Chains A and B, each alone.
Chain A
Amino acid sequence: MTESKQNVFQWFVEVFCKQWVWQKFCVNLVYKKFDKWKGWLYLSPALVLLAIFTIWPIFNTIRMSLLEGYTTMKAVNGQSFAFGIGNFTRVLKYPGFITCLKNTVLLCVLTVPISTFLALLIAVCLNSIKFLNRFLQTVFFLPYVTNSIAIGMVFAAMFNMIIGGSVRPDSVGIVNNVLEALGFNYVNWVNAGSEYWANIVVMTVYIVWNALPFKILILLGGLQSVNKQYYEAAKVDGTSRARTFWRITVPLLSPMLAYVIITGFIGGFKEYSSIVGIFGESMGPVGDAYALDTMVGFIYRAIGNQEGTASAAAIILFFIIFAVTMVNLYVSKKKTHY
């Protein structure tokens, strides 16, 4: 082999190898880089929207809550605001907000236990029958597929009295008709001059009715996955039905129970549209507007004119929901049997 030939060969190898390595490098660069970015590319529409409508609001709402007396109008006019917790103290001292807080908590405390217990009872009964099972399941799920404003209007009509010329109203409403048939006196539930406790009863009935389907569905799903052996064992031991219920069914269902109770509380603290359904936007009987206002109602009314206050109220709501959820999780961790 001559020197020149060897050189050519070396040169060829060198160039070819470099070329090849270079190519591989390029391919790697393009593909690997693209692979790295492909995920972000697919996520981009979601991320852009989330940045604008979810992430930015978190920061901005916190900012507005900490600027005393912040309103968009004043901000547009170039006014500056002092930094501080004035919005929070003002909201917590404002009687209207206290009413909202009281109503919300009261409705939560009333409706969550009642609806959970009723749903558990119905689910257990449904689980132990065969005939009509499918049909009844559908019936109990039906309230879920409704418009809570629309059906709220039906409930309002059922409790509503139509005042006539005489002392006694022309029509006292179907619920009062049933009460009178059972020997009670009729009650002014939702009309002008109705009392607070009566309004709360109406709201409780409606919210429980509305909350049942979801809870029944979840609990029934849980019951169907419970191992039948436990019940066989209880039967062999001659355990009573009540004992079986409290000692086997409830513990085995506890994860689902914890779930429906937590979601129930979260939903309860955000109660709003069911009250609009029954009482309308005035959030109370005629002549007593906002008697049944809730936290969410308070926030919505402050949007567009009192952003600082609204933000502070929303953050308070967040902390309440957060705290209640944490307490629930803590309790359920102690009591749940997996």
Chain B
Amino acid sequence: MSDLNVMQNRDMKKVSAQQKVVKIIVKIMLYAFLITMGIIVLFPFYWMIISSLKTMDEYRLAIPTLIPQYFDFRNYVDVFTSKDLILGRLFLNTLYVGVVSTALSLVITVLSAFAFARLEFKGKDALFALLLATMMIPGELFTITNYQTVNTFGWMKTYTVLIVPFLVSIFYIYLLKQNFMQVPNELYLAAKVDGTSDIKYLWKVMIPLALPTIISITILKMMGSWNSYMWPRLVANDDAHRLITNGLRTAFTDASGVTDIPVQMAAVAVVSTPLFLVFIFLRKYIMKGVSRSGIKG
């Protein structure tokens, strides 16, 4: 009897030891896979930074150096002093368009979301359904006519054309409406009884409660202007109004298509830095907003 017990015990130990080994091997494989993928994902960023610190001669080497022979910041000086890419102007243009369109867009989004979430009026549900349905249509379909419209309005090559056509995002209205609806209706009725105006109620109760969503919308909208490329290129691609991405793509490439890659990489790094800073400080809001939206920019 006791012999059997001992044998059973020994078998159990053997099995658990085996399991442990398997478990450790699986863990090692997991980490190996994840870290390899992580390195692949990060490599372009690494390559951008080290290439931006190399001289063209070093960049041309047959066997590339993984760390620059010496850190040469001249490319960055070139980027900021280049006549090819007037970076200061591009930054200011993009910042101006981003801030103004985000601010106006937020006002419109909050008012509309409030109307859809709290107010009762005829045709509300039908209107909302209609607006959601337009989200299925690819944006290019609108662009064709919008190009004519802004031309008729005489808005070509102005800041207005970069800001106004994209102020309303049905998706952001939808997102904020969902958030507003979570606030109990009793709160609104109580405020009404107390004689609080709608605007005051919005400002004092709704907006503070929905702040995370509003911050997410703000960041995504700002990132959108930072990354917008096609519309600005169509309607306002002159020196005075050009945005950062449009300036970047064509800079440092001469007519025959030969590119000064290290300087170009320095420019790319400069343009990418604000995005990374925003990401580092506001990661939580970005990831939350994106997981609910799936809209890039």
Interface of A with B (CB < 8 Å)? 35-40, 42-43, 45-46, 49-50, 52-58, 60-61, 64, 72, 118, 121-122, 125-126, 128-129, 132, 136, 138-151, 153-155, 157-158, 160, 162, 164, 168, 170-172, 174, 177, 192, 209, 212, 214, 217-218, 221, 241, 259, 263, 267, 269-270, 272-273, 276-277, 280-281, 286, 296, 299-300, 303-304, 307, 310-311, 314-315, 317-318, 321-322, 325
Contacts and interface: CB of A to CB of B under 8 A. Distances in A.
A58 B138 CA distance: 11
Interface in B215-233: 223, 226-227, 229-230
B164 A321 contact: no
B144 A154 contact: no
B111 A154 contact: no
A157 to B, nearest CB: 5
B268 A151 contact: yes
12 contacts: A43-B112, A54-B142, A54-B168, A55-B134, A58-B142, A132-B34, A142-B42, A157-B261, A214-B296, A269-B138, A304-B234, A314-B144
Contacts of B245: 147, 149-150
A281 B142 contact: no
A56 B149 contact: yes
Contact of B144 (A42, A153, A280, A311): A311
* B interface: dominant SS: helix
Given A150-B245, A170-B62, A142 B41 contact: yes
A321 B137 CA distance: 9
Contact of A64 (B64, B144, B227, B250): B144
Given A145-B223, A221-B291, 11 more contacts: A35-B120, A36-B121, A38-B198, A42-B112, A42-B119, A64-B144, A132-B34, A146-B272, A153-B268, A269-B138, A317-B141
A307 B34 contact: no
Closest 10 CB pairs of A and B: A39-B121, A57-B145, A42-B115, A39-B119, A314-B141, A145-B279, A57-B142, A46-B112, A60-B145, A42-B111
Given A54-B134, A147-B227, A149-B229, A307 B165 contact: no
B162 interface: no
B41 A45 contact: no
Contacts of B294: 214, 218, 259, 263
B65 to A, nearest CB: 11
A148 B268 CA distance: 11
B149 A61 contact: no
B108 A45 contact: yes
Given A49-B164, A149-B245, A149-B249, A217 B149 contact: no
B30 interface: yes
B47 A143 contact: no
Contact of A155 (B44, B108, B145): B44
Contacts of A218: 291, 294
A214 to B, nearest CB: 6
* A interface: dominant SS: helix
Contact of A280 (B127, B139, B249): B249
Given A129-B30, A150-B268, A45 B249 contact: no
Which has the most chain A C-beta neighbours within 10 Å: B61, B108, B166?
B108
A270 B140 contact: yes
Contacts of A270: 138-140
B47 A174 contact: yes
A171 B61 contact: yes
Contact of B34 (A122, A141, A269, A281): A122
A138 B283 CA distance: 8
A144 B137 CA distance: 24
B141 A157 contact: no
Nearest to B153: A52
A119 B272 CA distance: 24
Interface string B131-174: 10010111111111111110100000000000011111010010
A149 B248 contact: yes
B31 interface: yes
B175 to A, nearest CB: 14
Contacts of B290: 144, 214, 217
Nearest to B137: A318
B227 A148 contact: yes
Given A39-B121, A129-B31, A144-B290, A58 B227 contact: no
Contacts of B253: 280
B272 A151 contact: yes
